[in-house]
Each structure stands twice: as structure tokens, then as C-alpha cells.
Amino acid sequence: MQKKQEKIGLIWFRNNLRINDNTSLFKAIKNHKKIIAVFFFDPKLFEKDSFGFKKTEKFRAQFLLETVKELQRNLADINITLLTYFDAPENKIIEICNTYKVASIYTQKEWTKEEVDTNKLIKNKLSKSINFIEDFDQFLFHPNQVTNNFNNIPDVFTTFRKKIEKQVSVLPELISPNATAQNLIENSTTIPTLKDLGFDAFYSNSASAFTFAGGENSALERLDYYFFESKKVAFYKKTRNGLIGTDYSTKFSPWLANGSLSPRTIYWKIKEFEEKYGSNNSTYWVIFELIWRDYFKFISLKYSDKIFKIGGILDRDYHWNSDLEIIQKWINGETKDTFVNANMIELKETGWMSNRGRQNVASYFAKELLQDWRIGAAYFESLLIDYDVHSNYGNWMYVAGVGNDPRDRKFNTKLQAERYDSNHKFRKLWLEKTLF
């Protein structure tokens, strides 16, 4: 049996903040006796973007802090130290490699511009003797099994879904690692506070539909509750368009977004549930939504930075406005549409909004107010606890008519409100006025 390398393996955690089903962790343990890990709270992610929004607002910042604290504890249980820095990766990772004589860096593969630029900065400084190993680790269907040319990804979701369901299997989860050799190191680094990141402490809104803490343990508890304790998954398709409460939908998306929960873990838990209790449209529909999530990642791989361009992947030359007063009224929930307003206030107060709400407020912003859809997408990026770059920009392109919607539809928010909030309960909850 080949002896493990004596040099240290460094796991650079990004949006894969878990120990279960983690390719980087799995490979590092396989190839090294001694392992350390690092996570960077990159200051760039807490600065204002070109539209004036903080790239990460307080809700996701708090969720991230909770997640990293839990990751640090879980790694310590398997004798791996997680170093944490409130600094840019390119400023620290070379120093870490030199200090600890790192032989290989293991990290999640990213492909959007900011992450790729960071990688280039690091690789340009990195000794050629250090391996830089990247793995796709945020998909349900591994890209290597789907295609060897991302240009072949269909531009219509249904075509993609039917083909992938027929031809591609979901890989098994990677087995949770056993404790490695006793190789914990002295850790003088600290996890920043919310104040360090530029925010005041805050209390969560008691009316929020997302009341959960960040971290892998919380994610797995929610998974167990939703599938096996409450069996709510068996009714998901009927309840998924709900607006109030924690159980109308899975609420897995924030943990999926920062990688503290693997989509494969969800998939195989569904299969376990179906084995025990039977399958139905609802159990399938959770998988259906995971395929949508994958699809937007594949579209991002296909079109690269075009997902951030005003013309989208279709190069549509529409006229868009950027009226600051109109945009601010949309943000504050002060438009002429009460259903839109209620959803926008929920987002502002909690960092959460239902899928039904997101489609309506985005369509209203782009198709009714005719404002530059990228501004709406940037605001969502700032506020949403479950912000995922590919799903966010993919969905905004979709509703703005510059993405993957062949019908280029517009939501009738009045009819949507009548259908999904006929008793006005949701609007009363967030508008705090006796309008009805």
C-alpha cells in the first residue's frame, strides 16, 4: 500500500462548507497524513457593488458566520484545524503554503469571473511544485458525466431535463471521513464578528419563513425533519407555492447556496424516503427543482460572463431604465402593487422571499417598471440568505426575457395575488396596515 505523503494538504473551503460528501476533503484525507483547512471572509464580498448595494448584507453574513463556526467544530472532530481570515485569499494563501510546507491545495471548482480572477492571482504567485486541485462539487449531476463540451447544453430547460434524466445517473455520496491522524495545529486566527464585517447585531424577524441557523448540522436536522419526522416532502408539490411559515417548502436553498448541504445528499435521502414510504409527484418535484438548480449552473458554464450582461444570453437589445426613485420604491415596498410590496418588505426585513414572490417581484421590476434587470439581480444578491450566483442571474434573465424562457412571459401580479394570497393573509402580515 502506497504511503501517504508527509507534506501537508491544504483544503481551501469556498462554497462547500461541509464535511459530508465533500470531494476536496475526501481527496485530501486520501492523499495526506497531515491536513489543514482555511476559509477566507473576503472583504470584497462585503463592499458595495457598482449599483450601490453591499454584495453581502447582514442576513447572509450572519448565516455564513454560523456556518463557518460549525464547520470549524466539525473539522476539529476529525482532527483538522480550520484557519479563518478576514482577508483576500490572494493575500494569505501563499504565506500559508510557505509556513506549513503545503504540497497540494484542494478546493471547489468555480468558473464565474470574480472567483476565476482570484484563482489567477493565486496561481501566478504559487510555487510550481504545489498542486492546485479543483473539483466540481456543487452539482447533482457531475459535469463530467453530462458533457465534454458545455456548448452542447440545450437552451431550453425541458430538453435538458429529459435528456439528463434518461442518460445520466446521480453519483453516490462520498462517505463521511473518519478522524485523521492527530494533526491539529495551534490556531491563532479568529472568525470575524458581525461587527468586523461591517454590521450591527440584529434580531431575526419572528414572522420570517426562514428561522434556521447556518451550518451543516442544522441542514441535516432540517433534512431529517422535512423527510422523516414530518414527512412534509410527500406534499411538497401542493404546498411549494406557499408564502407563510417554515414548512410550505423545503427551505434547503440557503444551505445549498453556501455548500453546507450537498444536492446529492438530498437526492439520496429522497430515494431513502421513497424506499420506505413510496414515491409520488411531490418527492419527484424536489428532484425536479434540484435539476433546475443544476441547469442554471450549466448555463453559466456555457455562457460565462454573458449571464451578467444587460442583453443576457440572448443578446437582446431592449431599452432598460434606471430610475433611482422607482427602484427605491420597489425596494421599500412602496409600489402601486400590494402583493409586490408585501414580498419586498419580507425580503428587506428577513433576507428571505418565497419562490412565488421572487418570480412576481422580478417580473414586475423588469416588465412593469421596465428597470434594468441587473439592478434587481444585484439587490437580490445583496439581501438573499440563499443567494446563488447561477440561480440568481439565471432566474433574473429568465423573467426579464433575456434568458432561457422561450415564451418571454410576464406575470400578472394581481391574478397571482388572488390565486396565492386570496385571504390577504400574507399581505396583512407584511404591510402592517388595515388595508383589507
Domain assignment present for residue 100? The answer is yes
The CATH number linked to 126 is 3.40.50.620
The verdict on 325 and 407 lying in the same domain is: yes
50 annotated to bind ligand: no
Going across the sheet that includes 102-108, the strands are 81-85, 35-40, 8-13, 102-108, 131-135
Coil, strand or helix: which one is 83?
strand
pLDDT digits (tens, 9 = 90+) for 43-73: 999 999 999 999 999 999 999 999 999 999 9
Q: Are strands 35-40 and 102-108 parallel, antiparallel or unpaired?
A: unpaired
Instruction: Round to whole Å and give the CA distance between 29 and 4.
Output: 9
Collapsed DSSP state (helix, strand, coil) of residue 280 = coil
196: how many CB neighbours lie within 10 A of its CB?
14
Residue 81 counted as an annotated binding residue: no
Q: Are residues 23 and 99 in the same domain?
A: yes
Do both 353 and 266 map to the same domain? Answer: no
- Note down the domain range covering 54: 8-137
235 annotated to a ligand binding site = no
How many helices and strands (H and E) does the chain possess?
18, 5
Is residue 152, in this structure, part of any structural domain at all? no
Domain of residue 313, CATH code: 1.10.579.10
- Residue 435 confidence (pLDDT): 41
Q: Is 388 annotated as ligand-binding?
A: yes
Work out how many domains the chain is built from and give that number.
3
Q: Are residues 300 and 327 in the same domain?
A: no
**Which residues 6+ apart lie within 8 Å of 252 measured at CB?**
219, 222, 223, 226, 261, 266
In order along the chain (436 residues), what is the average pLDDT of each group of 10 residues? 66 98 96 95 96 97 98 96 97 95 96 93 92 97 96 96 97 88 91 97 94 98 98 98 97 98 98 98 98 98 97 95 98 98 98 98 98 98 98 97 86 97 97 58
Decide which of 105, 137, 169 is a domain's last residue.
137
Q: What integer pLDDT is reported at residue 6 of this predicted model? A: 66
Both 282 and 339 in one domain: the answer is no
Residue 235 included in any domain: yes
* CA angle centred on 245, ends 239 and 246, rounded to 5°: 85
Dihedral pair phi/psi, residue 342, rounded to 5°: -60, -45
Do both 322 and 297 map to the same domain?
no
Known binder of ligand: residue 408?
no
The verdict on 13 and 133 lying in the same domain is: yes
Answer whether residue 92 is part of any domain: yes
**Domain co-membership, 316 together with 402:** yes
CATH assignment at residue 290: 1.25.40.80
* Whether residue 301 sits in one domain with residue 313: no
- Residue 7 marked in a binding site: no
218 labelled ligand-binding: no
Tell whether 185 is covered by a domain. no
Query: Do 354 and 398 share a domain, yes or no?
Result: yes
* Residues 427 and 326 occupy one common structural domain: yes
250 is in an annotated binding site: yes
Q: Would 280 be classed as within a structural domain?
A: yes
The C-alpha cell 509556513 sits at 99
Task: Please check whether residue 257 lies inside any domain of the structure.
Answer: yes
Q: Are strands 8-13 and 35-40 parallel, antiparallel or unpaired?
A: parallel
93 bridge partner residues: none
Is residue 71 assigned to a domain?
A: yes
Domain boundary, last residue among 108, 137, 166: 137
H helix or E strand, kind and range, residue 298: helix 281-303
Dihedral sign, Cα of residue 410, residue 414, residue 415, residue 417? positive
Residue 337 assigned to a binding site: no
